[in-house]
Structure 1
């Protein structure tokens, strides 16, 4: 048996490295991957060569620890089944369906302590959305939406869509979403966002209550577009003393902000949100385990597997990344199906 692992060899290029099947150590299990998902945000920064210098690949995921240098394996949405266990691991692990924060690889070894057992009532494709849903939960926690507030989500990629799906469950005055791509606006409506605006429409700013130089009507705006211009848009749509939660990571892309008109006098708060940590003011009551448990529950309620727009074999990985890079409006969630072609 051989192992196949996706590797970013240089910006704009991915290859599949073939090697011998790994053998689990005494305290490890061997996982055979069924599906893995491409992160259209962070992972595409790696593909495009937009990762900032001197920033580690990840500070909390064991499989991604270390400095950033090409070539490298990157990814953190993997679902599979335990097919072998080391001598020190309970045999109960054999056959379990698990989620792993692990790069795209069809066979890999892991300490079972860092695997997430998939609940029996969730299918494998739904489980793929665990990291994205956990991020959405974290964004909602950081934004602290209140009853009767007006909220806008800028960007309806997978994170924006899941965040909007959670916000739809709050008794807000109004929830509006903004995106340039029709496919994503349609998905936003399907998830419950009744007011979805086209970012390419010159009238969207006025329609969302914005007044040039005077801010807008939103109490809370989420910037989740991944586009640096989205942050200026978010600030300009926020009302006096409102807050903007920034979930986008722009990598090396520079942000040009207008902080000289409404922002200063408007007392707008900018909040950085990143899923690797919880807001300090929440840590007396919230732990990552509680957040993760809630993410599983939200997957049960939202059932986001319908957001998968494309499936590729791992061998066709170059086509998958090229599609996301060149035609983002055609995709929402792209996944790899690691199963043999005759068993799909």
Structure 2
């Protein structure tokens, strides 16, 4: 059938094009209701700051190919199954589902690639499932411990969801660093003990007679390469820095002199498309999905949505994210 799909066609250029999709025998056809824009990753693509030869996502069928223009992208689409292939059970008809699929009015997918939206969860909430799944993975990878000092750099939607999950742990302190005042206030509402702009952060705040200066666990979720060096500067002995940001082609300068080696600081990457090797003995993707769905209903995700724009106004949505980050937190595209 005919559909309309969003394409990134060049730096700061997006357009809606007519395309088509036909579900195969083992697929369903989904009519999209809402999709969430990932301000971090999609802004890099919008600015041409994603490596063009890098696979979009080798683990997702809907995102095959590389990141060169023109490009269909996005991974948070929620809609209703309106047609089933000949080998798909009829019970799928009418179900509300979430898919890691680009922004478009309709799409075809195998049922195994869909997340069934639980009863009581609104489509706008379900569109933030990938965000909550990422936050869940970040907490699993960080392994927060009793009494630790935890710092989160970046209070965008992923940062805020991560903060909301971390707030349930018996930490010594949960500190958030973000330059935007409104985001710092949201972080406090979600459970941060302290929220401050980057220029106020100093490792001196943790000096004590026991000599355990610095933070124990740090998350870099701001998307700004300079924040990684800020994290390293306040990391304590035997601390862990978890990097959830993807910088694309933006260069990163990191000071690994001084006490970095003596302090035995670990810098780890985190990525939602895989499970950490040390977790695979007990954790599966299905278990993480179940946990993320529980977290989706526990967190006030709908309060993070600041703007809803019709799909046809997608160019305006990306300009909003790019030019007014102090106003735009989570932007959704609506299809009805």
Shorter-chain TM range is: over 0.9
String of CA shifts for 1:268-287, please: whole Å, max 9, x gaps: 11111111111111111111
Q: Distance in 1 between matches of 2:320 and 2:327?
A: 8
Q: 1:323 maps to which residue?
A: 320
Q: 2:65 maps to which residue?
A: 66
Matched, 1:134 2:133: yes
Q: Distance in 2 between matches of 1:208 and 1:39?
A: 34
Q: 1:250 maps to which residue?
A: 247
Q: Give TM-score scaled by structure 1 length.
A: 0.93
Q: Distance in 2 between matches of 1:197 and 1:43?
A: 26
CA 1:295–1:42: 2 relative to 1, 3 Å: same
The one of 284, 289, 304 equivalent to 1:307 is 304
Q: 2:189 maps to which residue?
A: 190
Matched, 1:119 2:109: no
Q: Are 1:156 and 1:224, in contact at CA under 8 Å, matched by a contact in 2?
A: yes
Give the superposed CA RMSD.
1.7
Q: 1:285 maps to which residue?
A: 282
Q: 2:14 maps to which residue?
A: 14
Q: 2:99 maps to which residue?
A: 100
String of CA shifts for 1:301-340, please: whole Å, max 9, x gaps: 113111001111111111110111122121110010111x
Q: 1:55 maps to which residue?
A: 54
* CA displacement at 1:24 relative to structure 2: 2.2
CA 1:32–1:277: 2 relative to 1, 3 Å: same
Q: 1:342 maps to which residue?
A: none
Q: Are 1:6 and 1:73, in contact at CA under 8 Å, matched by a contact in 2?
A: yes
Q: Are 1:215 and 1:262, in contact at CA under 8 Å, matched by a contact in 2?
A: no
Q: Distance in 1 between matches of 2:275 and 2:203?
A: 35
Q: 1:41 maps to which residue?
A: 40
Q: Distance in 2 between matches of 1:52 and 1:69?
A: 8
* CA displacement at 1:208 relative to structure 2: 4.5
CA 1:208–1:18: 2 relative to 1, 3 Å: farther
SS at match of 1:41: helix
Q: 1:261 maps to which residue?
A: 258
Q: Distance in 2 between matches of 1:142 and 1:109?
A: 32
Q: Are 1:27 and 1:88, in contact at CA under 8 Å, matched by a contact in 2?
A: yes
* CA displacement at 1:204 relative to structure 2: 2.7
CA 1:327–1:47: 2 relative to 1, 3 Å: same
Of stretches 293-302 and 216-225 in structure 1, the one that deviates more from structure 2 is: 216-225
Q: 2:177 maps to which residue?
A: 178
Matched, 1:154 2:153: yes
CA 1:232–1:215: 2 relative to 1, 3 Å: farther
* CA displacement at 1:194 relative to structure 2: 2.5
Matched, 1:23 2:22: yes
CA 1:270–1:206: 2 relative to 1, 3 Å: closer
Q: Are 1:176 and 1:195, in contact at CA under 8 Å, matched by a contact in 2?
A: yes
Q: 1:78 maps to which residue?
A: 77
How many residues of Structure 1 are paired with residues of Structure 2 in the alignment? 334
Q: Distance in 1 between matches of 2:271 and 2:213?
A: 25
* CA displacement at 1:53 relative to structure 2: 4.1
Q: Distance in 2 between matches of 1:161 and 1:207?
A: 25
Which segments of 5 or more consecutive residues in structure 2 lack a partner in the other structure?
A: none
Q: 2:332 maps to which residue?
A: 335
Q: Distance in 1 between matches of 2:60 and 2:26?
A: 18
Q: Give TM-score scaled by structure 2 length.
A: 0.95
* CA displacement at 1:190 relative to structure 2: 1.5
Q: Distance in 1 between matches of 2:178 and 2:136?
A: 20
String of CA shifts for 1:15-61, please: whole Å, max 9, x gaps: 000245x3322221110000000001111111110012431111211
